[in-house]
């Protein structure tokens, strides 16, 4: 997607690769075409006022679906054509594309059709391909499959328009916005016809359905819509008939859905007495990014080349809806914590999987090496705490005594009493072999050897002062592993790897196996909370874990000036940014490759209002931060410099580690392969050009 100019509206979803699409469920009366047309018109106007670009209505919505043999009455069919005329005329002043269901007679056959209407004309007509004739369905009594059509064009109310199941509608003026259409039963077929539309480039797939309701059917059609959206890496709009269809033999729940790449982003209320119009801002740029990365998707395009090349592309002009005063608010939920689900059941499942991936990966490494001892450094902070409880559970799984875990806390010049006490309490609670090594004497020897001013009593707290301590700790661990015949378990997390917040070489950057390397800081915090809440260990261990969670995140390498040493003197987040915000940036930069300005926009939508959305468990109200746009822009610039320019050389030689989440890892053997000599220029320039320095007063 081309970069925005400074004059474009930063606050409009349409500036960031989104398109607003929706589904409508109007009231209908069986065979009362004028009434049905009027209800459709009203929802069309509503959709236009909300800035939608595409709206899908139910199957046969102008006549109602449940007409049975009334579909063979010319009076009904003529009224439908009159209704289409009226909708086409009204659409001239409305911005969206409308997909309306209608029975239409061509070639002495009756087809169940989707009429594609935009700006005063019919762009095309798509007939239903698969006609159900089983159980409660007898559609073949009235309708003919689109496969039986002879013509590729039909005359509709005085105009020749494209006709067929092979149409893809492509917008000129809205990047990556193209769509394919199918009708109801088409989704139930082994290969839904919009599969080929997706392979031909359609990013949005629409299904006009009536879809009566029986017990259990809602879950199944939801699964079908989710699966089709995911397989096709597309948005999927599914409309269903609601209030007013005949109840002679069937019932209707009006359940309409909007999916985006297997994730539901909008849906109607089932069994509602009211008409409904629901919509979401679909991320077209993300869909295109995903397809570009998925080699199997593009292999499928090649495999079905003949069908893909046979697709007819219908171009139409579309204007981006005018941004109202105050701007559009993004109409979809943007999670503040993309690595941590807010819904309790999904969050529990995510934590369960993450924890067990780490445990079983470490177990495999110990089995394959024949090593039955582990060596691990314990600081009293989050990462080493989580690595230790993973290691403890791994030894339980392998039937090895926890005493075989040799844990070392190694206080230095800035170690606080709080973290030191927490480290000892955790080691004691878990029953591992607990040790303490004061690294200050060996650090002083190093200072003397290299001529550092601190060896002469001068308070010089530079990067050398910090890294000597980190290096001494890791050097001790490796030599202890030699001495004890153990494996050094690494503790550094994904967030630290992204920001380069690790001492390179023989420092906390290195280990024999790192269980945390693809787990971001925000997820580690919630994993520890999950371990407490799910009682993975005894009450005493949970108590210590809770104390560790409440401690400031700090490298503890520089002592406080005149402080008492009870608490950490340094704040990691004051230097490299809030982890909750930097993890947000990390996810969208690495998972989707978004432009910095889009990442800033998403962060603004997620974080600028504390009242918007929900928060995961364990985030107290006084910890629920708000980040305004200038602050987001500033910390994102820090992330871009550190990630793209200053830190890749560290990631190019990280230890083995299991990939935990779909958000990815930064292993050079897995998700992320990048040159160590890259520059951050293009990302920083794009951020500076396209993100305002001052926040708009919307």
Closest among 43, 24, 157, 23 to 94, alpha carbons compared:
43
Complete edge-to-edge strand list for the sheet that includes strand 109-118: 121-127, 109-118, 97-106, 54-56, 18-25, 276-283
* Beta strands, E only, 360-486: 374-377, 405-409, 433-436
Q: Which residues pair with 179 in a beta bridge?
A: 169, 204
Catalytic residue among 113, 184, 232, 351: 184
How far apart are alpha carbons 598 and 679 in whole angstroms? 20
Structure confidence by residue, pLDDT tens digits, 483-523: 999 999 999 999 999 999 999 977 889 999 999 999 999 99
Q: Which contiguous run of DSSP H or E holds residue 40?
A: helix 33-49
Q: Are 383 and 376 in contact (CB under 8 A)?
A: no
The pLDDT of residue 5: 43
**Which structure tokens are listed for 181?**
């259409």
184 catalytically annotated:
yes
Provide the 3-class DSSP secondary structure of residue 87: helix
- For residue 220, give the 3-state DSSP assignment: helix
- Number of residues written out for the chain: 698
Q: Which of 59, 285, 631, 686 is catalytic?
A: 59
Closest to 291 measured CA to CA, from 282, 279, 301: 301
Report d(CA 278, CA 73) in Å as an integer. 33
59 is catalytic: yes
Express each pLDDT in 21-59 by its tens digit.
999 999 999 999 999 999 999 999 999 999 999 999 999
Give the residues across from 122 on adjacent strands. Answer: 117
Given the residues 113, 128, 260, 275, select the one marked as catalytic. Answer: 128
What mean pLDDT comes out for the span 325-338? 84
Residues 30 and 245 sit within 8 Å (Cβ to Cβ): yes
How confident is residue 620, by pLDDT bands cut at 50, 70 and 90? Answer: low
pLDDT at 342: 86
Burial class (CB in 10 A: 0-12, 13-18, 19+), 444: middle
Q: What is the mean pLDDT of the chain?
A: 93
Beta-carbon-side half-sphere exposure of residue 481 (alpha carbons within 13 Å): 19
Residue 455 DSSP label: G
E strands, 191-275, are 204-208, 235-239, 257-260, 263-267
Dump pLDDT digits (tens) for 191-232.
999 999 999 999 999 999 998 888 999 999 999 999 999 999
Rounded to whole angstroms, how far apart are CA atoms 327 and 428?
57
- Catalytic residue at 128? yes
Question: Can you give the C-alpha Rg of the chain in angstroms?
Answer: 30
The predicted pLDDT at position 173 comes to 87
Q: Tell me: pLDDT of 178 over 70.
A: yes
Does residue 3 have a pLDDT over 50?
no
Comparing C-alpha atoms, which of 625, 553, 624, 640 is closest to residue 588?
Answer: 640
Please give the pLDDT value at position 250.
85
Alpha-carbon distance of 332 to 282, in angstroms, equals: 8
Task: Please tell me whether residue 392 adopts helix, strand or coil conformation.
Answer: helix
Task: Please say whether the beta carbons of 110 and 143 come within 8 A.
Answer: yes
* Mean predicted confidence (pLDDT) in 82-99: 97
pLDDT at position 208 is 98
Q: Give residue 6's pLDDT.
A: 42
Strand partners, 239: 208
Q: How confident is the model at residue 615 (pLDDT cuts 50, 70, 90)?
A: low
- At what angle are helices 382-398 and 417-430 packed, to 10 degrees? 10
Q: Which of 202, 209, 207, 162 is nearest to 179 (CA)?
A: 202
What are the pLDDT digits (tens) for 435-481? 999 999 999 999 999 999 999 999 999 999 999 999 999 999 999 99
Tell me what the mean pLDDT of segment 13-27 comes to: 95
Q: Is residue 236 within 8 Å of 265, Cβ to Cβ?
A: no
pTM, two decimals, is 0.92
> Given pLDDT bands bounded at 50, 70 and 90, which one contains residue 321?
confident
Burial of 137 (0-12, 13-18, 19+ CB in 10 A): middle
User: Using an 8 Å Cβ cutoff, are 496 and 382 in contact?
Assistant: no
Longest Cα separation, the chain: 102
686, pLDDT greater than 90: yes
């Amino acid at each position: 997607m081309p970069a925005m100019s400074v004059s474009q509206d930063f606050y409009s979803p349409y500036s960031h690769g989104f398109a607003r699409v929706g589904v409508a469920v109007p009231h209908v009366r069986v065979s009362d075409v004028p009434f049905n047309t009027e209800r459709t018109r009203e929802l069309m106007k509503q959709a236009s006022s909300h800035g939608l670009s595409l709206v899908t209505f139910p199957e046969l919505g102008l006549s109602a679906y449940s007409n049975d043999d009334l579909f063979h009455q010319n009076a009904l069919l003529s009224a439908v054509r009159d209704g289409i005329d009226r909708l086409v005329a009204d659409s001239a002043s409305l911005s969206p594309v409308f997909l309306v269901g209608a029975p239409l007679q061509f070639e002495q056959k009756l087809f169940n059709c989707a009429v594609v209407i935009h700006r005063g004309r019919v762009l095309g007509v798509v007939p239903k391909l698969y006609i159900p004739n089983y159980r409660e369905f007898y559609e073949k009594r009235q309708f003919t499959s689109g496969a039986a059509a002879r013509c590729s064009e039909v005359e509709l109310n005085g105009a020749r328009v494209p006709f067929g199941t092979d149409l893809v509608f492509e917008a000129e003026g809205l990047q990556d916005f193209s769509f394919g259409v199918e009708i109801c039963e088409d989704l139930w077929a082994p290969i839904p016809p919009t599969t080929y539309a997706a392979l031909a480039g359609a990013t949005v797939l629409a299904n006009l359905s009536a879809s009566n309701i029986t017990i259990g059917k809602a879950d199944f059609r939801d699964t079908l819509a989710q699966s089709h959206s995911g397989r096709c890496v597309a948005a999927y709009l599914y409309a269903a008939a609601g209030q007013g269809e005949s109840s002679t033999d069937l019932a209707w729940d009006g359940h309409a859905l909007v999916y985006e790449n297997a994730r539901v982003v909008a849906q109607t209320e089932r069994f509602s007495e009211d008409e409904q119009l629901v919509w979401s801002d679909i991320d077209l740029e993300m869909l295109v990014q995903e397809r570009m990365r998925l080699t199997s998707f593009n292999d499928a395009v090649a495999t079905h080349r003949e069908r893909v090349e046979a697709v007819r592309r219908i171009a139409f002009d579309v204007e981006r809806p005018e941004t109202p005063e105050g701007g559009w608010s993004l109409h979809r939920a943007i999670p503040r914590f993309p690595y941590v689900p807010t819904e309790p059941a999904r969050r529990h499942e995510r934590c369960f999987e993450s924890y067990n991936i780490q445990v079983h990966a470490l177990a495999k490494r110990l089995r394959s090496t024949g090593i039955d001892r582990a060596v691990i450094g314990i600081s009293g902070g989050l990462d080493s705490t989580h690595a230790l409880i993973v290691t403890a559970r791994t030894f339980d799984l392998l039937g090895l005594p926890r005493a075989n875990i040799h844990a070392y806390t190694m206080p230095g010049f800035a170690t606080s009493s709080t973290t030191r006490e927490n480290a000892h309490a955790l080691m004691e609670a878990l029953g591992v072999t607990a040790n303490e090594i004061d690294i200050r004497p060996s650090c002083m020897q190093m200072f003397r050897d290299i001529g550092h001013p601190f060896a002469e009593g001068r308070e010089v707290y530079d990067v050398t002062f910090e890294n000597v301590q980190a290096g001494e700790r890791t050097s001790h661990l490796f030599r202890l592993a030699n001495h004890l015949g153990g494996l050094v378990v690494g503790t550094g997390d994904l967030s630290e790897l992204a920001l380069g917040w690790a001492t390179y070489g023989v420092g906390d950057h290195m280990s024999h196996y790192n269980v945390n390397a693809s787990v971001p800081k925000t997820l580690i915090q919630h994993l520890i909370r999950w371990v407490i809440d799910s009682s993975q260990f005894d009450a005493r261990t949970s108590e210590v874990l809770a104390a560790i969670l409440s401690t400031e995140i700090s490298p503890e390498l520089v002592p406080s000036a005149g402080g008492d040493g009870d608490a950490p003197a340094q704040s990691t987040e004051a230097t490299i940014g809030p982890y909750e915000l930097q993890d947000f940036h990390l996810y969208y930069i690495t998972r989707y490759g978004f432009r910095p300005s889009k990442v800033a926009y998403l962060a603004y939508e997620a974080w600028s209002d504390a009242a918007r959305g929900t928060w995961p468990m364990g985030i107290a109200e006084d910890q629920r931060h708000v980040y305004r746009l200038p602050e987001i822009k500033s910390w994102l610039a820090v992330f871009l410099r550190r990630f793209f320019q200053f830190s890749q050389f560290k990631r190019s030689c990280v230890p083995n580690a299991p990939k935990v989440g779909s958000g990815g890892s930064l292993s050079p053997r897995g998700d992320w392969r990048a040159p160590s000599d890259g520059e951050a220029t293009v990302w920083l320039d794009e951020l500076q050009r396209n993100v305002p320095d001052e926040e708009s007063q919307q």
